Amino acid sequence: MKIRRDSLAGSAVVYACLLALSGCAAYSMVAPADDRDQPISSAPDDTPEVVQARRVLRDEVEKTPLVRHMEFDVKPGEVRSISYTDPSTNTEKVVEIVQLLPDSIAISYSAGGPMEYPAWKLSYTEYQGMNTYFWLSSSWSQQDAQAAADALKTLVLDARGHLDASNAEGQEKFKQTCQGWSAQNAPVMPDEARQHQATAESDYARSDLDDAGDEYLAALKVYPCWPEGLHKRAEILGATGWYTGAIDSMRRYLILLPSAPDAQAARNEIAVWQRKMGD
């Protein structure tokens, strides 16, 4: 999976691997040294609930052996994300928490066996690939695991709310940029945008959807009021599971062509993508 930065709306959207490892049995008999005394990033508009959720999640998840030095990215204009160090490889990981399905976050008990300690498990599913991940810790009580699950859900909903606000702001700027645009009097596509379009179409023909989407984005930066490019990019992002970007691009398409013959179909696709995100 690529790490992608989507700046169509003027803000960075980080797409990256999700927290933890699929199918990984992460056991810990005692809580290791952690960063509990280190400050946690916050933003001026944070609610007390969100601030507390960050602290709870960090303190509890760092009890597992695969997460250390958890940090929270709350930069203005960027999607809220989490980074941490995987001590098994000493590499930094970044998680895009808007991809977690809120209703999938749950705890369960693993009784263990001859070679395994009993432990509480926190599991969750990301919508981009519909993969389920989990953390396990034998040092968790049921109360600890539930507190971590509640904190994670709070942060997922918070990140989604900020992304929605950022996209809404970007769409207002888009309306200003394309004010007065009409299909009958559309400006000529610049050569740079046309070159990106040709590359995107070539990538798409080779089923290289990631690169095709990037090329459409590059063209739209040069030629933003381009309904066909917005629609094509929305379809590509939707097909590859990047639903937030797909919804944003399709809404921009509808801003330009609200009465297009396929406008209702576009609205239906937005509704489908929202359901797949768990909205």
Provide the mean pLDDT of the chain. 87
Share of the chain above pLDDT 90, in %: 71
pLDDT for residue 59 is more than 90: yes
- Per-residue pLDDT of 251-267, as tens digits, reads 999 999 999 999 999 99
Q: What is the pLDDT of residue 211?
A: 96
> Residue range 196-207: average pLDDT?
97
Q: How confident is the model at residue 219 (pLDDT cuts 50, 70, 90)?
A: very high
Q: How confident is the model at residue 116 (pLDDT cuts 50, 70, 90)?
A: confident
Q: What is the pLDDT of residue 37?
A: 66
Could you tell me which residues come within 8 angstroms of residue 109 by beta carbon, excluding any fewer than 6 positions away?
Answer: 118, 119, 120, 121, 142
> Residue range 119-145: average pLDDT?
93
Burial of 251-265, coded b for 16+ CB within 10 Å and e otherwise, reads: bbbbbbbeeeeeeee
Share of the chain above pLDDT 70, in %: 87
Measured distance CA(213)–CA(146) in Å, rounded: 39
Q: What is the pLDDT of residue 35?
A: 62
Q: What is the pTM (predicted TM-score) of this model?
A: 0.83
Q: How confident is the model at residue 28 (pLDDT cuts 50, 70, 90)?
A: very low
pLDDT for residue 5 is more than 50: no
Measured distance CA(136)–CA(109) in Å, rounded: 9
Taken in order of first residue, the domains within the chain and their CATH numbers are: 4-167 (no CATH), 178-276 (1.25.40.10)
Q: What is the pLDDT of residue 95?
A: 83
Q: What is the pLDDT of residue 16?
A: 28
Residue type, 77: G
Tokens found for residue 1 = 């999976």
> Residue range 101-108: average pLDDT?
96
End-to-end C-alpha distance for the chain, whole angstroms: 24
> Phi, psi (5° rounding) for residue 257?
-130, 70
Q: What is the pLDDT of residue 36?
A: 62
Output 151 or 40, whichever has higher pLDDT: 151
- Per-residue pLDDT of 178-191, as tens digits, reads 999 999 999 999 99
Tokens found for residue 13 = 């959207």
CA angle 203, 206, 207 (to 5 degrees): 90
Q: Name which of 259, 200, 189, 250 is nearest 224 in CA terms.
A: 189
> Residue range 227-237: average pLDDT?
98
